[in-house]
């Protein structure tokens, strides 16, 4: 039996025709796998059993269970099975393998899905298990946002700031409307069609004048912005089953707020929720509300307002150590918010680890994190910094890159380091960095541009050479890079070079652990190897760990391998009295296979 469990931070998907039948992602011997849950009998059944795990699942009105059968690169196809079991069947036939770009399974056997290909996205429609007819194919990354209940209208999304942020079209490919998200219009996101009503109504969120506004679209009215329903930080929303009310979940300053918007009466009502973070919230038939709540010292718990039995969620037994403090550090674009978790035993200053979030369009939350738990239990203070560029603090904060990509964020990390040191909360001689993906990128950049400030670093699946990562990465990641930098590496080479960790590899002087994945398509392996070669050439002290997986692994074994190795590395480097480290110790390479 495994000593660890994994979970997906999402509520079960519910069958609209029989809400007692659900599908969820659950722990299966240390992997994420798709399971069914029957609330009437309180029994679950595992549907998938794949070596690399399975993350994406759904359930249609006929209670058919859907999942995405993908490889380590994220490339695969949709499959389905009866709720009670039976043979696996293809979702639609004749559809090329690719990345999951949305699935819509409404009443009856009608299916619509999006599949990401090398340089385009194809959208297919058909009868469940039958041929998938192509509705349209668009260049670059796009996704299916929904299918209207009558099956007569599809919504496709592209980047929120593009001239065609949302496209409405009929199943024969006829374009009905194109909704822009560029220029004065403001960025635009599509969230799905109302589940019922006399006409298709699409729910959207519009960013305008540094606010986020609820917006709806119908064929008759076009896009209507509801100015009475505006928020200062990011929101997402779901329809209530009646199609007239909307549940809004707001991310604000590292925590969550919940609201109910009555579209017909123009009323916005707060929905009481405990202080902390709602990882998910969903209105269900019969007035039921399902929520997934957590805070730093409480693992996630699922609840139903109507008392509906929900599937068990892997949790942590016993007390979760640590006390949480909110720290606000003055900065040029406003205060930088840090969630600081301190050990309960002993007084400061403490050895500390800055756990750097990725994205960059993401933020750290007052939510349970197994890495925070492990570090605090080991006697470290943990600082989670919502640097400029993070979500959850409004559009201006997310756009604030005055020192350039990466350097702005590193400046915030350094400012918080100085602030926590001045307050006597952390030991400056025993403070390290740990980040994954874009967070790992910031770790490499921080160690190279501010050598000596951080005494150790852990970079997991990082961007190490920005131009090389752009050349070898996915279409969606290339588009993100081009928005961040204002062009491609050929168009603005100096910007990419200025923000690329490999440029500063020769300046790294503090011990570094780099973890990379051989099948990573988002932060490709070769650009990490080039960075490690640069460290070797400079005689920098470093170690490397290679995983036989992709960027988004669903196998808990890999996560535990990284956790153990990183905690031991940081304990070794930050706990003993500092001694000058000899340069040229070389590197230690390990490959882990599961």
Task: Output the tens digit of pLDDT for each of the chain's 594 residues.
Answer: 345 556 667 899 999 999 999 999 988 877 889 999 999 999 999 999 988 888 899 999 999 999 999 988 889 999 999 999 999 999 999 999 999 999 999 777 899 999 999 889 999 999 999 999 999 999 999 999 999 999 999 999 999 999 999 999 999 999 999 999 998 889 999 999 999 988 999 999 999 989 999 999 999 999 999 999 999 999 999 999 999 999 999 999 999 999 999 999 999 999 999 999 999 999 999 999 999 999 999 999 999 999 999 998 877 777 899 999 999 999 999 999 999 999 998 788 999 999 999 988 999 999 999 999 999 999 999 999 999 999 999 999 999 999 999 999 999 999 999 999 999 999 999 999 999 999 999 999 999 999 999 999 999 999 999 999 999 888 888 888 998 999 999 999 999 999 999 999 999 999 999 999 998 888 889 999 999 999 999 999 999 999 988 887 656 778 889 999 999 999 999 987 544 444 434 444 443 333
Inter-residue contact 574 to 456 (CB < 8 Å): yes
CA 56, CA 76: separation in Å to the nearest integer?
11
- 211-218 vs 245-252, strand pairing mode: unpaired
Task: Pinpoint the residues of the chain covered by CATH 3.40.50.1820.
Answer: 323-577
**Burial per residue of 41-79, b for 16 or more beta-carbon CB atoms within 10 angstroms, e otherwise:** eeebeebbebebbbbbbbbbebbbbbbbbbebebbbbbb
Q: DSSP H helical segments within 79-122, as ranges? A: none
The confidence score (pLDDT) of residue 57 equals 93
Contacts of 562 (CB under 8 A, 6+ apart): 460, 515, 545, 547
The confidence score (pLDDT) of residue 31 equals 80
Inter-residue contact 462 to 444 (CB < 8 Å): yes
**CATH class of the structural domain 323-577:** alpha beta
CA 373, CA 224: separation in Å to the nearest integer?
45
- 154-157 vs 166-169, strand pairing mode: antiparallel
The confidence score (pLDDT) of residue 577 equals 54
Overall fold of domain 1-100: Neuraminidase (2.120.10)
Task: Pinpoint the residues of the chain covered by CATH 2.120.10.30.
Answer: 1-100
For residue 571, the SS3 value is helix
Residue 68: what are its φ and ψ, rounded to 5°?
A: -100, 115
CA 382, CA 338: separation in Å to the nearest integer?
10
Contacts of 324 (CB under 8 A, 6+ apart): 295, 296, 297, 339, 340, 341, 342, 366
Question: Where do the DSSP E strands lie in 117-200?
Answer: 120-127, 133-139, 143-147, 154-157, 166-169, 175-179, 188-193
Q: DSSP H helical segments within 452-576, as ranges? A: 466-472, 475-485, 493-498, 525-538, 556-574
pTM: 0.91
CA 319, CA 377: separation in Å to the nearest integer?
10
H or E element that contains 422 = helix 407-422
CA 583, CA 557: separation in Å to the nearest integer?
33
Kindly report whether the peptide bond that precedes residue 360 is cis, defined as omega within 30 degrees of 0.
yes
CA dihedral of 186, 187, 193, 199, whole degrees rounded to 10: 20
Question: What DSSP designation does 13 have?
Answer: E
């Amino acid at each position: 039996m495994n000593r660890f469990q994994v979970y997906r931070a999402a509520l079960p998907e519910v069958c609209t025709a029989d809400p007692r039948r659900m599908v969820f992602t659950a722990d299966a011997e240390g992997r994420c796998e798709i399971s069914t849950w029957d609330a009437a009998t309180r029994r679950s059944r595992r549907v998938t059993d794949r070596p690399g795990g399975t993350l994406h699942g759904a359930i249609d009105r006929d209670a058919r269970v859907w999942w995405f059968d993908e490889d380590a690169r994220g490339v695969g196809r949709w499959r389905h099975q009866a709720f009670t079991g039976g043979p696996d069947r293809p979702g639609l036939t004749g559809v090329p393998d690719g990345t999951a770009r949305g699935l819509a399974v409404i009443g009856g056997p009608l299916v619509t899905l999006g599949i990401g290909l090398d340089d385009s996205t194809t959208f297919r429609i058909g009868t469940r298990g039958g041929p998938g007819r192509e509705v349209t194919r668009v260049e670059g990354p796009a996704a299916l946002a929904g299918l209207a209940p009558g099956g007569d209208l599809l919504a496709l999304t592209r980047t929120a700031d593009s001239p065609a942020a949302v496209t409405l079209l009929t199943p024969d490919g006829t374009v009905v409307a194109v909704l822009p998200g560029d220029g004065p219009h403001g960025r635009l996101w599509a969230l799905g069609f109302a589940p019922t009503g006399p006409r298709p109504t699409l729910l959207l969120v519009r960013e305008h004048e540094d606010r986020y506004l609820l917006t709806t679209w119908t064929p008759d009215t076009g896009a209507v912005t509801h100015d009475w329903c505006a928020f200062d930080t990011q929101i997402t929303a779901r329809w209530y089953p009646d199609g007239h009310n909307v549940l809004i979940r707001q991310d604000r300053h590292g925590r969550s707020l919940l609201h109910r918007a009555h579209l017909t009466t123009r009323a916005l009502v707060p929905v009481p929720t405990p202080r902390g973070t709602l990882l998910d919230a969903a209105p269900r038939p019969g007035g039921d509300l399902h929520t997934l709540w957590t805070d730093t010292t409480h693992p996630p718990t699922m609840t139903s307002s109507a008392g509906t039995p929900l599937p068990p969620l892997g949790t942590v037994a016993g007390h979760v150590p640590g006390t949480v403090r909110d720290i606000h550090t003055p900065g040029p674009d406003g205060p930088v918010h840090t969630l600081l978790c301190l050990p309960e035993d002993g007084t400061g200053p403490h050895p500390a680890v800055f756990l750097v979030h990725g994205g960059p369009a993401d933020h750290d939350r007052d939510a349970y994190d197994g890495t925070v738990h492990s570090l605090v239990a080991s006697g470290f203070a943990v600082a989670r910094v919502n640097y400029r560029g993070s979500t959850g603090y409004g559009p201006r904060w997310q756009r604030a890159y005055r020192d350039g990509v990466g350097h702005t964020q590193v400046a915030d990390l350094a400012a918080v380091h100085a602030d926590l040191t001045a307050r006597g909360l952390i030991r400056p001689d025993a403070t390290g960095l740990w980040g994954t993906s874009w967070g790992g990128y910031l770790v490499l950049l921080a160690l190279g541009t501010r050598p000596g400030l951080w005494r150790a670093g852990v970079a997991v699946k990082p961007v190490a050479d920005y131009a090389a990562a752009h050349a070898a990465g996915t279409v969606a990641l290339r588009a993100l890079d081009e928005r961040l930098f204002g062009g491609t590496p050929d168009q603005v080479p100096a910007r990419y070079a200025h923000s690329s960790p490999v440029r500063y590899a020769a300046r790294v002087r503090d011990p570094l652990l780099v973890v990379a994945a051989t099948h990573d398509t988002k932060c490709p392996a070769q650009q990490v190897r080039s960075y490690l070669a640069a460290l070797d050439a400079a005689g920098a002290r470093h170690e490397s760990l290679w995983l036989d997986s992709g960027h988004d692994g669903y196998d808990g074994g890999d996560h535990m391998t990284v956790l153990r190795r990183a905690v031991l590395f940081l304990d070794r480097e930050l706990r003993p009295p500092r001694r000058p480290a000899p340069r040229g110790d070389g590197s230690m390479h390990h490959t882990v296979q599961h």
